[in-house]
Amino acid sequence: MKKRESILNKKILVVITSIFFIFAFCLMFYKKHTLLPPKSHIPTNAKHFPTLGSPYAPINITVFEEPSCSACTEFTTEVFPLLKQHYIDTGEVSFTLIPVCFIRGSKPAAQALMCIYHHDPRHPDVNAYVEYFHRLLMYPKEEGKRWATPEVLTKLAEGLQTYSGRAINPKGLMQCVNDRQYDEQIKKNNIYGSQVLGGQLATPTAVVGDYLIEDPTFEELERAIRQIRHLQNEDVND
C-alpha cells in the first residue's frame, strides 16, 4: 500500500513539475513576443544623419555600425536586404545609418564614408553612402592588419551609383580623406552612440523607435516594428 502511494506521489510530482515548466515556457514565450525591448538611454534624432526611406515614415530605425566590425557584415548582408524590401521600400520605416569608429585602422574608412555622402555638397547622397558602407563591410579583412588603404578605398568606390550620375573621383576622394575634414563629425557620432547605448559602443546596435536592440536580427527588428505599430494604432483609436 505504501509502495503504491509512493509511486502515485512521484507521478503527481512529475505531472506538477511538467505543468510548471510548461507554464514557465509559455510565460517566457509570451513576454518575448509581447513586451518591447528596453528604451534607449536618450532618444535618437535622425534629422542630422544619413537616412534612407520616406521622411514621413511612422517608424525610424537607427543603426550604429563600425567599418571594421565583423558582426556588421552579417547585418548588412542578411538583415538589411530584408528590412529594405519589407519595410523601407514600402514607406513603413526610415533607416538611419550612423558610422562610429573605435577599431584601430578604421578611421580612413569612416572618413571615406562621409566623403562619399557629401561628394556633392549641394546634395548629400544617402544611396551611394549606404552602398559604399556595404562594400566596406564586405571587404575581407585580416585581424591586426591595416586594410583601409588608399588603394582599397578608391577601388571600392569604382562603379558606385551616385545621385548626379557622375563617377566618384578617386583623387578627390583621397584628398577628402587625407584632409580629415570629418574628424569632428565622427567623434560626435561616437559620443552620440555612447549616449544612446548608455555606455560603451557596440556594433551593430539598432534603435527601433525609442527601443534598443543589441542583437538586431531581422526577427527582433520585425517584432519591435509590429509592436510599435500596434501601439500607434491604439493611440489613433483612443
**Whether CATH 3.40.30.10 fits 46-237:** yes
Taking the C-alpha atoms of residue 110 and residue 45, their distance in angstroms, rounded to an integer, is 20
Angle at 173 between CA 183 and CA 69, to 5 degrees: 60
Instruction: Write down the domain spans for the chain.
Output: 1-35, 46-237
Cβ–Cβ < 8 Å for 128, 162? yes
Residue listed under C-alpha cell 519595410: 87
- pLDDT tens for each residue of the chain, 238 residues long: 555 556 655 555 555 655 544 444 433 444 444 478 899 888 899 989 999 999 999 999 999 999 999 999 999 999 999 999 999 999 999 999 999 999 999 999 999 999 999 999 899 999 999 999 999 999 999 888 899 999 999 999 999 999 999 999 999 999 999 999 999 999 999 999 999 999 889 999 999 999 999 999 999 999 999 999 998 887 666 5
**What's the CA gap between 145 and 125, in Å, rounded?**
30
CA distance 85 to 87: 6
pTM reported for the whole predicted model: 0.84
